[in-house]
């Protein structure tokens, strides 16, 4: 029974809540009691009798061990095994023990249980937490298993331990993230190795918790000891735990209830026991009900999030509208972004009011349809006309007269523009120009130059180069919309994105910038500005090459962290106080035309608590292309990525 739905629409795996069970050789009854009776969706079940040790087994005549598994695979149907059971590897195993017999028994048992789980077609298996800070042999055995594993996921149990911030000796600080990071490094960041967090009654700082949202966390095990008791005697969680659980729900992390009931519910007397329903008799049902309550009270996904849901953490190559002609479907997607065009219309309206004062505007109302005294507005890169429409609406709103040139290089979009002019009766107002703005010989100077050439990183779709070529037909006192834009970056933990890039097994993909709807990422420090461009730029010594060195300070209460790459954004000033952008602290609400950009690192960089990371970014310009280069200088230097644009560039 899923926890519920959010606003009638939800595809998240976090709707399903599991329960951790002890070993039971009657799997059908265990499944029925916890799923049918209690309403849980899956079991976290031990696969092997915990008393089993390979060294204690006697070999038969053929040398084979008889394995005391929990029944046979026939006790449940294949679909039940696959859909309702997550295997739990025996918790006693210790592959880094000094005791050689225990170590050998552990290795044998681990491989046997994983083989059995594979035979059962389980979707996942829970590995016990490493017994100490040294886990090299454990990781080696897991890595061997991962090399030949089918699609099954391995969840490594990691306690979400509170760091000892008050410790005088910083070496004594406990950080379970470092244990996970060490283990996954030893396993080569394998994409089938994930985390199951053991949530305890005390929690680390908010910054420390935030790291985990960039890691491959698949489940959160909440022990009943972590629950408080509300005024009615029922289990509840602290506000910090509630916020954390909500974060898990938003990141498709499944909740698993663990432990025994520690709450005596009101009215649960022997006299009333006969009147209880089956669901009430399950001791952990109140905990499930509370988790369901937290899920159901969450706000429904906004319309924008529903639209973008399928794009979460999906790497896309950035558009190259200057080199390539966009397709109708791409135009249509961007044209649906009402917020962007509302902002453009506001900016154009303010520009028109500044260009033509009210007293002059009143004298133009009797001008003929040709509008000889109208302002000249040029939309460069007109596409299928949304900025033309926004410009004319701004003129109508302000009572100003316009003469519009719509300049577009894509011949297919020009066909649509001509049809639009006829459909809207704009023949005497709008002139269509089928030409690259950099090569057009304009018949007159423009008062206002409007463009939508911005990319996710501001300048990455060559807005500077295009507007440099177009500004020659802008008056010296003319207005460019946008008037300026700045790119931003911030270091992120993004395990999924890193593994997706790594799966290509080549250098090119690690030196490519990707457009991506960031979701399962941890933002480790506030973003900082990188490159700024201002228009018009009539300087005789202008250059669009840029270089910036940045230093990001990681908060000390974050603990250690890993940087898989950098998230990039932009913020643009369209005109005066009208801005547009996706930089997180100033992002334009409900706008979906741009996702962030992601610059990966070939080798992830580990940052110590309270330390900093120094980053260098270059924007390089050649005769036929523009490209970015980037590197980390400290705490440990990385190679310079994309040297000379060998892997990724934007064509001029």
Nearest to 414 by CA among 442, 436, 383, 438: 383
Per-residue pLDDT, averaged over 559-573, amounts to 97
436 annotated to a ligand binding site: yes
Q: Which residues contact 105 (CB under 8 A, 6 or more apart)?
A: 53, 54, 55, 93
Over residues 232-269, the pLDDT tens digits come to 989 999 999 999 999 999 999 999 999 999 887 665 44
- Assess whether the previous peptide bond of 536 is cis (omega < 30° from 0): yes
What is residue 600's three-state secondary structure?
Answer: strand
Distance from CA of residue 490 to its chain's centroid? 14
Do residues 378 and 450 lie in contact, with contact meaning Cβ atoms separated by under 8 Å? Answer: yes
Task: Say which of 215, 452, 583, 629 is annotated catalytic.
Answer: 452
Phi, psi of 297 (to 5 degrees): -85, -5
> What is the pLDDT at residue 274?
40
**Residue 410 burial (CB count, 10 A):** 21
Confidence at residue 71, expressed as pLDDT on a 0 to 100 scale: 64
Other Cβ atoms within 10 Å of 209 Cβ, number: 20
Looking up tokens 């990525």, which residue turns up?
Answer: 641
Cβ(641)–Cβ(511) under 8 Å? yes
What is the pLDDT at residue 2?
83
The yes-or-no verdict on residue 523 having pLDDT over 70 is yes
C-alpha to C-alpha distance for 341 and 363, rounded to whole angstroms: 29
Residue with tokens 């017999």: 101
DSSP 539-586: -TT----EEEEEEEEPPGGG-SEEEEEEEEEEEEEEETTEEEE--TTT
Query: How far from chain centre, in Å, is Cα 281?
Result: 41
Catalytic residue among 461, 511, 583, 629: 461
Write down the pLDDT at residue 58. Answer: 56
Higher-confidence position of 364 and 2: 2
Residue 154 has pLDDT above 60, yes or no: yes
The stretch 150-170 carries a mean pLDDT of: 75
* Domains by residue range for the chain, with CATH: 13-54+68-164+173-301 (3.20.20.150), 328-452 (3.40.50.150), 484-651 (2.70.160.11)
Is residue 452 annotated as part of the catalytic site, yes or no?
yes
Mean pLDDT score, 529-552 = 94
How far, in Å, CA of 117 to CA of 120, rounded?
Answer: 5
Is position 16 annotated in a ligand binding site? no
Give the span between the Cα atoms of 213 and 206, in whole angstroms: 11
The pLDDT, as a whole number, for residue 522 is: 97
pTM beyond 0.85: the answer is yes
Q: Quick one: pLDDT at residue 63?
A: 45
Give the torsion sign (CA, 239, 245, 249, 255). Answer: negative
Q: How far apart are the first and last CA of the chain?
A: 56
Residue 118, pLDDT > 90, answer yes
234 is in an annotated binding site: no
Would the annotation count 496 as a binding residue? no
The model's pLDDT over 496-511, given as tens digits with 9 standing for 90+, comes to 999 999 999 999 999 9
Under the banding of pLDDT at 50, 70 and 90, the label for residue 304 is confident
Contacts for 126 with CB less than 8 Å, ≥ 6 apart = 44, 86, 87, 88, 89, 155, 157, 196, 219
- Cα 549 to Cα 51: distance, rounded to the nearest angstrom: 59
Extended strands (E) in 22-123: 42-46, 85-88
Q: β-pairing, 625-634 with 612-621?
A: antiparallel
Question: Which residue, among 89, 87, 140, has the nearest Cα to 110 in the 3D structure?
Answer: 89
Q: Give the chain's mean pLDDT.
A: 89
Backbone angles phi, psi at 119, to 5 degrees: -60, -35
User: Please, which residues have CB within 8 angstroms of residue 21's CB and are 6 or more apart in sequence?
Assistant: 30, 34, 43, 44, 45, 46
341 belongs to an annotated ligand binding site = yes
Task: Determine the 3-state secondary structure of 352 from DSSP.
Answer: helix
- What beta strand segments (E) does 216-328 contain? 217-223, 228-229, 235-236, 254-258
State the Cα–Cα distance between residues 20 and 40, nearest whole angstrom. Answer: 10
Q: Contact at 8 Å (CB) between 494 and 521?
A: yes
Indicate if 461 belongs to the active site: yes
Distance (Å, whole) CA 350 – CA 397: 11
CB 93 within 8 A of CB 114: no
Residue 480 DSSP label: E
| Category of 462 on φ-ψ map: left (φ > 0), alpha (ψ -120 to 50) or beta | left
CB count within 10 Å of CB 608 equals: 14
Is the pLDDT assigned to residue 378 strictly greater than 50?
Answer: yes
Number of other CB atoms surrounding residue 571 within 10 Å: 22
**What's the pLDDT score for residue 310?**
86
For residues 445-455, average pLDDT: 96
Mean pLDDT for 146-164 is: 89
Check: CB of residue 440 under 8 Å from CB of residue 473: yes
Using pLDDT thresholds of 50, 70 and 90, give the confidence band for residue 68. Answer: low
């Amino acid at each position: 029974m899923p926890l519920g739905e959010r606003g009638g629409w939800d595809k998240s795996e976090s709707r399903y809540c599991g329960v951790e069970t002890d070993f039971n050789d009657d799997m059908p009854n265990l499944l029925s009691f916890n799923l049918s009776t209690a309403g849980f969706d899956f079991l976290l079940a031990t696969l092997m009798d915990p008393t089993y040790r390979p060294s204690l087994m006697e070999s038969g005549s053929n040398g084979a061990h008889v394995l005391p598994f929990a029944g046979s695979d026939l006790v449940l149907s294949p679909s039940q095994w696959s859909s309702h059971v997550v295997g739990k590897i025996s918790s006693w195993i210790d592959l880094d023990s000094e005791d050689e017999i225990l170590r050998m028994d552990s290795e044998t048992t681990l491989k046997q249980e994983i083989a059995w789980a594979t035979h059962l077609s389980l979707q996942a298996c829970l590995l016990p937490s490493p017994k100490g800070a040294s886990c090299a042999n454990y990781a080696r055995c897991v890595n061997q298993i991962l090399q030949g594993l089918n699609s099954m996921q391995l969840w490594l149990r990691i306690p979400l331990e509170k760091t000892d911030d008050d410790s005088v000796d910083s070496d004594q600080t406990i950080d379970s993230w470092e244990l996970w990071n060490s283990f996954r490094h030893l396993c080569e960041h394998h994409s089938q190795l994930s985390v199951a967090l053991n949530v305890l009654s005390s929690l680390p700082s908010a910054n420390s918790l935030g790291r985990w949202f960039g890691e491959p966390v698949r489940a959160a095990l909440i022990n009943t000891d972590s629950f408080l008791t509300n005024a009615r005697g029922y289990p509840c969680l602290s506000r910090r735990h509630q916020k954390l659980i909500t974060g898990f729900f938003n990141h498709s992390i499944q909740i698993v209830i663990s432990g025994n009931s520690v709450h005596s519910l009101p009215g649960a007397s022997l006299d009333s026991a006969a009147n209880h329903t089956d669901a009430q008799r399950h001791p952990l049902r109140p905990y499930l009900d509370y988790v369901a309550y937290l899920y159901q009270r969450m706000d429904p996904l906004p319309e924008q999030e529903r639209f973008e849901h399928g794009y979460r953490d999906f790497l896309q190559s950035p558009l190259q509208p200057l080199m390539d002609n966009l397709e109708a479907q791409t135009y249509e997607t961007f044209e649906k972004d009402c917020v962007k065009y509302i902002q453009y219309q506001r900016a154009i309206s303010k520009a028109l009011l500044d260009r033509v004062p009210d007293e002059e505007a009143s004298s133009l109302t009797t001008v003929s349809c040709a509008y000889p005294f109208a302002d000249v507005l040029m939309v460069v890169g007109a596409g299928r006309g949304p900025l033309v429409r926004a410009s004319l609406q701004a003129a109508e709103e302000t009572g100003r007269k316009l003469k519009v040139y719509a300049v577009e290089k894509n011949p297919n979009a020009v066909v649509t523009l001509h049809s639009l002019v006829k459909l809207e009766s704009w023949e005497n107002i709008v002139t269509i120009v089928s030409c690259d703005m950099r090569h057009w010989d304009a018949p007159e100077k423009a008062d206002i130059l409007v463009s939508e050439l911005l990319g996710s990183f501001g300048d990455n779709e060559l807005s500077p180069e295009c507007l440099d070529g177009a500004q020659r037909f802008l008056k010296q006192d003319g207005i460019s919309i946008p008037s300026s834009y700045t790119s931003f970056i911030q270091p992120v933990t993004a395990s999924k994105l890193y593994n997706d890039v790594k799966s290509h097994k080549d250098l090119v993909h690690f030196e490519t910038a990707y457009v991506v709807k960031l979701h399962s990422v941890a933002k480790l420090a506030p973003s900082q500005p990188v490159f700024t461009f201002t228009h018009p730029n009539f300087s005789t010594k202008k250059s669009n090459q840029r270089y910036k060195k940045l230093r990001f300070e990681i908060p000390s209460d974050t603990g250690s962290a890993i940087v898989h790459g950098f998230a990039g954004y932009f913020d643009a000033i369209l005109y005066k106080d009208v801005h547009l952008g996706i930089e997180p602290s100033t992002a334009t609400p409900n706008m979906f035309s741009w996702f962030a950009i992601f610059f990966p690192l070939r080798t992830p960089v580990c940052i110590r608590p309270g330390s900093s990371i120094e980053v260098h970014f270059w924007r390089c310009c050649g005769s036929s292309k523009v490209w970015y280069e980037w590197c980390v200088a400290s705490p440990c230097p990385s190679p310079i990525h994309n040297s000379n644009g060998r892997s990724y560039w934007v064509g001029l």
